[in-house]
Amino acid sequence: MAVRAVRGAIQVDADTRDDILEGTAELVKAVLDRNGLASDDIISIVFTATPDLTAEFPAYAARLLGLTDVPLMCASEIAVPGAMPRTLRLLAHVETARPRADLRHVYLRGAAALRTDLPQ
């Protein structure tokens, strides 16, 4: 098994606890589903949120999904002028037999505009 990194992002509608939890859960599930991964395959996940999202920790949504024994960390994205607002990102480190070229990075909702080069 190789250690690989999978990226993803989602734009949420508002800085509310529910929007952050729902958006994060949607993103985590999509990353796992599109890559044929199970929770046991996850080594760790780093979540970031744009500075305008402060109502909840994205990692809490992963805990609610059952990722209770996975190391999780949250951080704030740097406030780059003109950057996409209300965006949650993740970097998941996973164990997988898939080659790097077969991994599917996931960009949902408005965040799809960040990586138009990737298949959705």
Task: Give 77-113 pLDDT, tens digit per residue.
Answer: 999 999 999 999 999 999 999 999 999 999 999 888 8
Give the model's pLDDT for residue 17: 98
Any idea which residues carry the catalytic annotation?
7, 63, 74, 77, 89, 107, 115
Question: For residue 87, with 0-12 CB atoms within 10 Å meaning exposed, 13-18 middle and 19 or more buried, which class applies?
Answer: buried
Q: What are the tokens at 95?
A: 């164990």
Task: Indicate if the pLDDT at residue 45 is higher than 60.
Answer: yes
pLDDT, tens only, 71-87:
999 999 999 999 999 99
Query: How would you write 48-107 as a 3-class SS string?
Result: EECCCCCCCCHHHHHHHCCCCCCCEEEEECCCCCCCCCCEEEEEEEEEECCCHHHCCCEE
* pLDDT band of 19, cuts 50, 70, 90: very high
